[in-house]
Chains A and B, each alone.
Chain A
Amino acid sequence: MSKVIMNMITQRSIEEGAAMEKGKTNPDYFDACSICEINPEDMKKLGIWKNTNVRVTSECGSVIVKAIEPTQFCPPGLAHIRQGVWANQVVPPRTQSTGTPQYSGFPVTIEPAINEKLKTALELVQGSVGLWKGGK
């Protein structure tokens, strides 16, 4: 098992849009967005099977997501987390003085995290501002 450095983009998907309109605390939203699409070649480098959890770390944070095979082809070296709560744990807020954060095209380190658990949207957001009342 090893770490790899990849280029991360965060984009839309219809599953994400459809789930969001059911509500951000809906299980569909969790399923649609707590994932990272990685080319099988990169999974080999990581030494993981598809559908295992990985830790994604950027210059400004880190998040546990489930690595899946791309639903739309992603070339090796490029990783994709659907926009939403999980993606925004690692999106750098730097804006190049335009007001728009670096939502796509930032470097991340990805490493296997097979025994780590995924957090819910509420736990991530409330946890980050000190309001999370649920368990660990």
Chain B
Amino acid sequence: MPKLITGVGCPYCGSSCDDLEVLVSDDETKVLEVHNSCIIGSNLFHHANDPTRPRLPRQRQPDGSIKEIPYEEAIDYFAKTLLAAKKPLIYGFGSTNCEGMSAIGRIAEKAGAVLDNCATICHGPSFLAMFDNGYPSCTLGEAKNRADVVVFWGCNPMHAHPRHTSRYSIFPRGYFTGKGQMQRTVISVDPRETDTAKLADVHLMLDQGHDYELFDAFRTVLRGHDIPDKVAGIDKETIIKSVDIMKKARFCMIFFGMGCTHTDGRNHNIDAAISMTRDLNDHTKCSIMAMRGHYNIAGPGQVWSWQFGFPYCIDLSKGTHAHMNPGETSSIDLAMRDEVDCFVNVGADAGAHFPIQAVQHLKKHPFIVVDPNFNMASEIADLHIPVRIAGVDEPGVVYRMDNVPIQFKAVLKGLPGVPSDEELFDRVYERMCEITLTQPIWLAAKENRKYPHNTNPMVS
């Protein structure tokens, strides 16, 4: 009998929907149906059925061909390559669980590596702005239950977070928002008329790259001063009307995305957005939230902040204390200045999503990829180690875009012999300790060890 599993989490976007139902075959090896998810989530679960999924590490041979090798060999190569490198860069972690992120922290410390996650090319600028200016935010439930004005500034949830509007921001009928969409005024700020903008009551179709000026104009109006007739291509009247809607809100919720972080000004756009949120709190209640991308990209920010005190761009090469300075210690900047001599890509695809020049620089050195599937990075890697898919055949904790932790389930039995990220990294850590004749102190400190064969790490 096929089994229906409820309360399943979707390991794709920052909405981290946890209301999916997945019908699996009776031997728990195939996904038959996926209910409640958007098309992306559905494709993701069905893709896990792919019979061509890699089951063994694949190493590039001197003649350029690819050969499958046993996990032991791959772990040995991984450990030795990291130890031999002067400044390895470990990047990724948009798509894995917090257990995996914490395990790589131990390796990175041992290797004196730079540890970075996808935030570096995504909401990193938002972190920079938060350091400067704070983060007056809330959880998504508050938006659902209270927000009567919702602003999407430089984000397009209809495409990037497909169920965001129906779960949290526009359509749901909340406790104080019983009329749902009827009760909410939606403002979209975007240079294109996106499908999100089409849902909005007011669309400010600004000139691309001029968000900072528009934030400035909003703040100037909020503080009771005059502005020019047109700012960033938007009429004065429209700006005044929008500010008025926001000021008269009972609870105003601002979501922002790549339209602010990827354009000129980067963190300063977010600075201005946060300042505007604060200004609005003189008149009403207003909250701001970054539309985080991957389902657990808030995870490394949390986990590594507990471990090292910094959310991303963490330089551990000093050995005794961590250092963080994006612009200096970020993946792209390090790559472009040729400052790293080994690249490890985990649960992300630098091959497809880094500017190609950065990829060319990184490829000059050993290139290791840890990912459940084939992707662009795995196809240019020296070594590709397959792991289980978090949220599909490996459970774990993930942090939603509002930093609410959710326990994700496994719906399938993992492929035999394929480890989880955490198990793989623990084994690499052990191997590094063996090679350097040091005590695996972190493993001893780990209670409730999930993988019993690791219990006596000095014996192998």
Contact = CB atoms under 8 A, between A and B. Distances in A.
B355 A60 contact: yes
A126 interface: yes
A21 B188 CA distance: 28
Interface string B344-385: 000001011111111110010000000001111001100000
A93 B192 contact: no
A73 B359 CA distance: 32
Interface of A: 7, 9-14, 17-19, 21-25, 60-61, 70, 72-75, 78, 80, 83-85, 88-89, 91-93, 95-105, 121-122, 124-126, 128-129, 131, 133
B121 A88 contact: no
B336 A93 contact: yes
A126 B267 contact: no
Contacts of B25: none
Question: Which of B121, B328, B336 has the most chain A CB atoms closer than 10 A to its own CB?
Answer: B121
B165 interface: no
Interface in B404-457: none
Contacts of A99: 120-121, 124, 312-313, 326-327, 330-333
29 contacts: A11-B156, A12-B159, A18-B43, A21-B40, A21-B44, A23-B374, A24-B349, A85-B376, A93-B332, A93-B354, A95-B333, A98-B124, A99-B312, A99-B313, A99-B332, A100-B122, A100-B332, A101-B355, A103-B258, A104-B209, A104-B259, A105-B264, A121-B352, A122-B376, A125-B379, A125-B380, A126-B379, A128-B356, A131-B380
A60 to B, nearest CB: 6
Max chain B CB contacts within 10 Å: which of A11, A13, A96, A133?
A11
Tell me whether chain A's interface is mostly helix, strand or loop, or mixed: loop
Contact of A60 (B357, B359, B375): B357
Interface string B277-293: 00000000000000000
A105 B209 contact: yes
A98 B326 contact: yes
A78 B122 CA distance: 21
Nearest to A71: B195
Nearest to A15: B159
B359 A70 contact: no
Given A23-B373, A85-B352, A122-B376, 9 more contacts: A7-B209, A9-B208, A23-B375, A75-B191, A88-B353, A93-B336, A98-B267, A98-B326, A103-B258
Interface in B303-341: 312-313, 326-328, 330-333, 335-336
A104 B122 CA distance: 12
Contact of B263 (A72, A80, A92, A105): A105
Contacts of A102: 262-264
Contacts of B360: 128-129
A88 B209 CA distance: 19
A126 B261 CA distance: 29
Interface residues of B, number: 68
A125 B191 contact: no
A88 B356 contact: yes
A23 B47 CA distance: 8
Contacts of A91: 355-356
B40 A14 contact: yes
Contact of A14 (B39, B120, B332, B358): B39
Contacts of A17: 12-13, 40, 159-160, 162
B145 interface: no
Contacts of B124: 98-100
Given A17-B40, A24-B349, A126-B380, A72 B192 contact: yes
Contacts of B12: 17, 21
B353 to A, nearest CB: 6
B374 A103 contact: no
B193 interface: yes
A75 B193 CA distance: 9
B337 to A, nearest CB: 11
Contacts of B262: 10, 100-105
Contacts of B209: 7, 104-105
Contacts of A80: 192
- Identify the 8 closest CB pairs spanning chains A and B, nearest first: A99-B330, A97-B327, A73-B193, A99-B326, A103-B262, A21-B43, A12-B160, A93-B355
A23 B13 CA distance: 16
Given A17-B159, A131-B64, A75 B330 contact: no
B43 A100 contact: no
B266 A18 contact: no
B343 to A, nearest CB: 12
A133 to B, nearest CB: 7
B108 to A, nearest CB: 17
Contacts of A9: 191-192, 208
B193 to A, nearest CB: 4
A125 B376 contact: yes
A70 B192 contact: yes
A129 B363 contact: yes
